[in-house]
Chain A
Amino acid sequence: MEPNTPLTRRIFLQQGVTLASLVATIPWFLENSALAMLPADLRVSSQAGVPEDRILVVVQLGGGNDGLNTIIPYGSDDYYRQRPQLGIPAPGTTNGALQLDSKIGIGLHPNLVGFKELIDSGRLAVVQGVGYPNPNRSHFASMDIWHTGKSEGRGNGWIGRYVDNACNGSPQADAEIAIGRSAPLAMFGDLHKPVSFENAKLFQWTGKELPAALDAPYEAMNRAGALEGVVPGSQAAFLMRTALDAQLSSDRIRAAMDKTPLVSYPNSQLSTQMKSIGAMIRDQMKTRVYYASIGGFDTHGGQAGAHGNLMRQVGDALLAFQNDLKAQGNATRVVTMVFSEFGRRVRQNASGGTDHGTAAPMFLMGEGVKAGVHGTHPSLTDLDQGDLKFTCDFRSVYATVLDSWMGAPSKKILGASYPNLKLLRG
C-alpha cells in the first residue's frame, strides 16, 4: 500500500483480528464504514462550515486540447504570425471569436456559444495558463501527472485519495462514478475503487430473464463478496468483491436513470454523459465526484474542423447540464471542472494541425464560482522550446476545489501545499 494511508494501517493494528477477518467478505464501502466507526481522532474530518452535500464533476478533454484556439488571444500579432491558417479571427469578423475581454484582447472559440452564455450569466470561470513544471509531452505521462497530482505521475489518483481520506470517513460504494468503459486513474484510491459504466441498460445481468430460476442463485453468488477459503488479495478475491460492488451500484443507478430529464440535452457523446450525471444528482445519490470524458483533442492534422466540432460539443453539453442542475434546484451544490492533459504548440504544423504543447486554460463551472477570466494569459513570445510557459500550477486549482469546495484538506490529499486561488464565491 502507498505510504499515504497511515489511517488504514493504524486502524488495523488497533482493531486487530475482528475487523481484519470481516474485511475479506464485505464490500469496499462497508469496510470503509467499519473504519469510520472508529474514534474520531483517527479520521480526517471535513472542514467546518462546508456543507456535506457538495458535488464535484470533472470533465476530461483527452488528447491535449488546443488552449490557444479555445481562449483566443486575438490581440496578439504573434498569434496570427504563428498560426497563419489556424488562427481564429478577432470578434466582429466572419467566423470571429466571441468577445471575452476587449482590454486584453481575448475571446472564446466561435463555437463556444454555450460558454459565452455561461460567462455572461456568471456561471463560468476561466483559469489561464494552467500547467506544471518540466512539462511532459507524452499523453500518458502527462495524463498520469494530472491524475495523480504528483510530478512523477506515479501512485494512486487524487480523487481516489480524497474519497479515501474524506467524505467524513464513510464513503459509499458509489462515492465516485465515472461514465465510460473504465474509470480513470484519478479515481483510484488505496481503499476506494470507483464505479464506472457506459450504458445503464447494460448495467445488469441478462441471465435473470432466463427460465430455471437463475435469479436467486445468481444474486447469492455475486453478492457474497470474497468467500471464505479464497486467498485474500488474490485475483479471485478481487473479482468477488468487484462483483458485489457491481450489484449494489446497478440497483441504485438504474433507478436514477429511469426519469426523463427536466431540460433537453443536445445529441452528442459528452452530452449523453452529462445527462446521466444530471439524472444521478437529481436522484439524490450520495456520490461526491462524477467523471465524464471525451477524446479526439489530439489534433495533429486538419485541426480546424475537428476542433471546432469538439468546442461546440463541449460548450453546448455543459450549458445544458448547468441548466438542468438549475431546473432541479441543485445548481448551487455542483461545481464542474474541465481540463486536458496539455495544450498544444503555439506554432501550427505542416499538416494544418498543432503538436503536443504545455499550458492551457482550465474551466470551473457552477453558481458557486467567481465567473470571468482568472490569471494572465501566457506570453506568446517568451516561450520554452516553442511552448507556452505555465502561469498557474494545476494543483492550485485542485487545492482550491478540495479546500474551499469539498471541504477536504488539500495538503494531505495532494501531499504538499499549493496556494488557493480566488475562484470560488465566499
Chain B
Amino acid sequence: MTSYSTSPLAKSDWTIATARHLLNRGGFGGTPVQVDALQAMGMDRAVDYLLDYGSTPAAAISPTEFDCEIRKPLTAEQRAVYQTARQSNNEAAREQLQQLRNQQDGLDRKQMQEIQKWWLRRMIETGRPLEEKMTLFWHGHFATAYRTIEDSFHMFQQNQLFRTHAVGNFADLVLRILRSPAMLKYLDNDESRKGRPNENLARELMELFVLGEGNGYTESDIKEGARALTGFTFNDDTFEFQPNNHDRESKSILGQTGNWDGDDFAKIILSRRETSEFLCGKLYRFFVNDGPGMPDAKRKSFAIAMATELRKQQYEIKPVLRLVFRSQHFYDSANRGATIKSPTQLIVQTIRELGTPPRELATLNAAGDLMGQSLFMPPNVKGWDGGQAWINTSTIFVRQNLAVYLITGLRPDSFDLDESLAKWDTGALESAIAARTAGDSAKEADALLDLILAIDACEARRTQFRQYVKTLGGPLTQARLVAALCLVTAMPEYQLC
C-alpha cells in the first residue's frame, strides 16, 4: 500500500536505501561511504544535515573572479563621440565603436562559458548539495536566458540571488527578483513605462512565477499589473526605480484597487492561497515524483499539506522541505526512482556517485545542452518541463554517451580512446562492492546494481547483467569494473533518480 502520509518515517524504516534516496533527491547523490555515513546519522540528523547547511563551509570561490565591467554602459563621453560620429557620418569613429562592441560581445560570451563551468564545478564539489539543488530549482522557476540578456554578470548576480535565498523565504525572493537586472531585461520591464506598459513581466508573474496559470486572473489584471510595474528598471548592475516612468494612477488588480507599485502587485498575488499550491505542486514534481500528471488525485492531499505548511510558515521554504524529506510518502517505494534525472543531475550525480574524474567541464556543458539543459540558457521563460520531457530517442543516446565519457574518457564526438584517461581510482566502489558481497563473486553483479540504480532492478535485468559480469572472468575491479559501469549506466533505469 502506498503511503500518502506526511508523518515521519519510522526509525526502523530508515535504511541505506532511504538514505541514498534522500541524498539523490535533496542533492546529487554520493559515494557509498557518504551514503553509509548519512544512514548512520539517523533520519532526523540526516535531514538536518542537508537542510541546515549554513555551518558547512561553502566552496571557496570568490564572486570577484568575474568581471562586472565587460558590459559597462557607455560613459557620457563615449556616448557623445558616438552621437557625433553618427550625425556627421564619421565612418571611422563608428567603426571603432562597433569594434569595441564586438570585443565586448566576445569577452562576455567567454565569461558566460566560464560562469557555466564555475556553477557546474560548484555542484560537483559542494558540501552543501541542497543549496545548489534549490539554486537550480529557482533558475528553472524564474527562468531567464543569457541568449536574451547578453550580460554574463547579470546572470551571475541572479544565480547568487537564487543561492542566497535557496531555502529562504519565497515572498522575499519574489520581491528581489523584481529587482534583478537579468529578469527586468529578460522580460522587457526595462522598456516598460507609463502610457506604454510592457506586459511581459506582469504576465509571467501571474502565469509562471507566483499565481500559476488559470488560477483566477484575467487579461485585465495583467494589464493593470504591468502598469504597477512601470518604472522598475536597472542602471548598470543595480535596480533603479524611475518615478517619472511609473504610472501613478489607480490600478485594480484581482479586485483590489489602489495606487499600486510592483511590490504591491507582488504582495496582492502572494496573498492568494493558489500561490502556495502552485509552488508546492512544482516542488512536489521536482523532489518527489515527476511522472505525467503528478501530483495526481491520490497525491494531491500531500501537495496540499505542503502548501498549508508553506502558508503557515509565511512562505519559508525550509520547513516545507523538512516536511517532505521526513515524510513516509517521500520514501514510499512508489516514489523511489519516480523522477527522471535532469541532464545536470545526471552529470553531477554520475561524478559524485561513481567518483569518476569530472573530465572537461566545457564538454560536460555541451553535453548538457544536447540533452536539453544548458545552464543559464533555459529554452524559454517557462523553464524546463522536466520529467519525461527530458527523454526522447536522441537524448537517450547522449545520456548514455555522456556516462561513457565520464567513465572512460572516450569523447562522444570521436572514437579515439586515450588509455591514460580511462584510469581513475575505482577503489571506493571496489570496497563498497566487497563490503556487500563478503568475497562471494557471484553476488558482485547484484551488489553493483543495488549501489547504482535508483529502483530495485527487476529479475530479468539482473539475469542479463549477471551473465555479462560472468563473461568478464574475474572480480569487478579496475578495467572490468569500468566496463561493467559503462553497461549499468547504459541501462534505461539508470536515468531514474
B and A form one assembly: yes
A199 to B366, CA, bound (A): 13
Residue of A with least CB distance to B403: A207
Pairwise interchain contact A246-B496, C-beta atoms closer than 8 A: no
Pairwise interchain contact A221-B461, C-beta atoms closer than 8 A: yes
Pairwise interchain contact B393-A242, C-beta atoms closer than 8 A: yes
Does A249 interact with chain B (Cβ within 8 Å)?
A: yes
Does B161 interact with chain A (Cβ within 8 Å)?
A: no
Looking at the assembled complex, report how far the CB atom of A172 sits from the nearest CB atom of chain B, in whole angstroms: 13
Q: Which residues of B contact A236 (CB under 8 A)?
A: 337, 455, 492-493, 496
Looking at the assembled complex, report how far the CB atom of B378 sits from the nearest CB atom of chain A, in whole angstroms: 12
Pairwise interchain contact B338-A182, C-beta atoms closer than 8 A: no
Pairwise interchain contact B492-A138, C-beta atoms closer than 8 A: no
The residue from A213, A229, A235 contacting B340, defined by CB atoms under 8 A apart:
A235
Pairwise interchain contact B370-A207, C-beta atoms closer than 8 A: no
Does B254 interact with chain A (Cβ within 8 Å)?
A: no
Most B C-beta atoms less than 10 A away, residue of A137, A217, A228: A217
Residue of B with least CB distance to A301: B191
Does A12 interact with chain B (Cβ within 8 Å)?
A: no
A29 to B486, CA, bound (A): 28
Does A70 interact with chain B (Cβ within 8 Å)?
A: no
Pairwise interchain contact B483-A351, C-beta atoms closer than 8 A: no
Does A418 interact with chain B (Cβ within 8 Å)?
A: no
* Interface membership of chain B positions 394-413, coded 1 if the CB is closer than 8 angstroms to chain A and 0 otherwise: 11111011001100101011
Pairwise interchain contact A243-B492, C-beta atoms closer than 8 A: yes
Pairwise interchain contact B372-A210, C-beta atoms closer than 8 A: no
Pairwise interchain contact B415-A246, C-beta atoms closer than 8 A: no
Q: Which residues of A contact B196 (CB under 8 A)?
A: 350
Does B464 interact with chain A (Cβ within 8 Å)?
A: yes
Pairwise interchain contact B393-A195, C-beta atoms closer than 8 A: yes
Residue of A with least CB distance to B290: A235
The residue from A181, A206, A249 contacting B404, defined by CB atoms under 8 A apart:
A206
The residue from B388, B404, B458, B492 contacting A207, defined by CB atoms under 8 A apart:
B404
Does A204 interact with chain B (Cβ within 8 Å)?
A: yes
Pairwise interchain contact B460-A229, C-beta atoms closer than 8 A: yes
Residue of B with least CB distance to A201: B413
Contact-residue bracket for chain B: 35 or more
Pairwise interchain contact B492-A218, C-beta atoms closer than 8 A: no
Does A250 interact with chain B (Cβ within 8 Å)?
A: yes
Most A C-beta atoms less than 10 A away, residue of B207, B372, B389, B394: B394
Q: A212-B480, A229-B459, A239-B495 are in contact. Are A202 and B397 (CB under 8 A)?
A: yes
Pairwise interchain contact B388-A182, C-beta atoms closer than 8 A: no
Pairwise interchain contact B483-A212, C-beta atoms closer than 8 A: yes
Most B C-beta atoms less than 10 A away, residue of A183, A220, A238: A238
The residue from A196, A209, A210, A220 contacting B392, defined by CB atoms under 8 A apart:
A196
Pairwise interchain contact B460-A227, C-beta atoms closer than 8 A: yes
Residue of B with least CB distance to A183: B392
Q: Which residues of B contact A243 (CB under 8 A)?
A: 396, 492
Looking at the assembled complex, report how far the CB atom of A194 sits from the nearest CB atom of chain B, in whole angstroms: 8
* Interface membership of chain A positions 397-410, coded 1 if the CB is closer than 8 angstroms to chain B and 0 otherwise: 00000000000000
Q: Which residues of A contact B340 (CB under 8 A)?
A: 235, 239
Pairwise interchain contact B417-A209, C-beta atoms closer than 8 A: yes
A217 to B188, CA, bound (A): 53
Does B491 interact with chain A (Cβ within 8 Å)?
A: yes
Q: Which residues of A contact B412 (CB under 8 A)?
A: 202, 206
Q: A229-B459, A235-B496 are in contact. Are A218 and B487 (CB under 8 A)?
A: yes
Q: List 25 A-B contacts (CB under 8 A).
A: A138-B203, A140-B381, A182-B392, A195-B392, A197-B393, A202-B394, A210-B410, A212-B472, A212-B479, A212-B480, A217-B468, A221-B461, A221-B464, A229-B459, A235-B337, A235-B339, A235-B340, A235-B496, A236-B492, A239-B340, A240-B492, A242-B396, A243-B396, A246-B397, A350-B196
B contact set with A: CB distance below 8 Å: 188, 191, 196, 198-199, 203, 207, 291, 337-340, 370-372, 380-382, 387-389, 391-398, 400-401, 404-405, 408, 410, 412-413, 415, 417, 455, 458-461, 464-465, 467-468, 471-472, 479-480, 483, 486-487, 490-493, 495-496
